[in-house]
Amino acid sequence: MMRAMQLDRPREALRLVRGPIPVPAPGELLILISACGICRTDLHIVDGDLNADFPVVPGHEIVGRVIAAGEGARFQPGARVGVPWLGGSCGRCPYCRSGRENLCDDPVFTGCSRDGGFATHCVARDEFCFALPDAFDDIHAAPLLCAGLIGYRAFKLAEESPVVGLYGFGAAAHILAQVAVHEGRRVHAFTRPGDESSQKFALSLGCAWAGGSDQAPPEPLDAAIIFAPVGALVPTALKQVRKGGRVICAGIHMSDIPAFPYADLWGERSLCSVANLTRSDGEEFFSIAAQVPVKTVVTSFPLSQANEALELVRGGAVDGAAVLCPGLDEGE
């Protein structure tokens, strides 16, 4: 029997369920899960901010071993794989045909439109799973599957910006900061006002400056990446970006953006969002993460403590990333 923490409907606690271990269809993998990171997107699903196919098992930063493979699968039993947010794309729509599968009109999202990794087992499409670098063990690899991938896609949109601001210093920012510092960028970290713990954490990772989101950095930014789901940060970040700079919204959900003067956007500043990821993003990022090498900071929790871990992430009480590990549950 498999165990899973299932969300029956929005704004309820996840509950422990047990059921038969699924059987992979052709082109699918059955994965024994060793670790699954907790992402802010999981909170948006729990809170009903995103449409999901309820009941659903959340979780889309999955690391595990293949224990059965459907016909035609690349990965075979024993292989270690990672399962990301993008669990499938149609391959037919204009976006897929133009290499932008992240914008697919008929996508599959792990832990949202199909069951994810807050469980002992999951099934995933083989072609959307990743081989993971040996440089990372299972627990430390888990946050790379979304926090790392989405952060990297946002970072690519910042192009060659030498001075980068990161608004919201959680799982994604702590990974991205290491990549940016490795490339010689100056990184300024913005946290909740008064959050000295997160500011010290940012400085320990090589950030040049860290302060509250209500503060101005010591120099203008060439690009700002917003990870916090707070729309009010958009006009705040625009005020700190120099002419020709860019503000990138990296979250899948954000509160409404308040009105702001056109003068704050003028000067060829630009505002854009990041949506999902492509498989090529993953291949590029995992290679870079191993070269840096990125050191993810994680706090692990038993699968049965998924609700408690979600609330700690919601409150910003976890430095780095929270990771669920089914093997930590006693008596299982």
* Contact criterion met (CB below 8 Å) for 62 and 114: no
pLDDT value, residue 11: 96
pLDDT value, residue 329: 87
| CATH 3.90.79.10 at 2-145+296-328, yes or no | no
Residue with tokens 């888990």: 142
Query: Residue 55: is the preceding peptide bond cis (ω within 30°)?
Result: yes
Give the domain ranges of the chain: 2-145+296-328, 149-273
Percent of the chain beyond pLDDT 70? 99
pLDDT value, residue 80: 98
Low-confidence ranges of the chain (pLDDT < 70): 330-332
Burial label for 94, CB within 10 Å (0-12, 13-18, 19+), is exposed
- pLDDT single digits (tens) 116-144: 999 999 999 999 999 999 999 999 999 99
Residue with tokens 């601001």: 165
Query: Residue 220: is the preceding peptide bond cis (ω within 30°)?
Result: no
* Rg of the chain (C-alpha set): 19
pLDDT value, residue 332: 58
pLDDT value, residue 108: 98
Looking at CATH, the fold of the domain delimited by 149-273 is given as Rossmann fold (3.40.50)
pLDDT value, residue 85: 98
pLDDT value, residue 330: 66
* Contact criterion met (CB below 8 Å) for 105 and 119: no
CA distances from 162 to 117, 186, 221, 222, 245 (A): 37, 6, 8, 7, 11
Q: In the chain, which ranges are E strands? A: 2-6, 15-19, 28-38, 62-69, 80-83, 86-88, 108-109, 121-125, 130-131, 163-167, 186-191, 209-212, 221-226, 241-249, 270-273, 298-302, 321-325
Residue 54, Cβ neighbours under 10 Å: how many? 14
Task: List beta partners, residue 82.
Answer: 63, 130
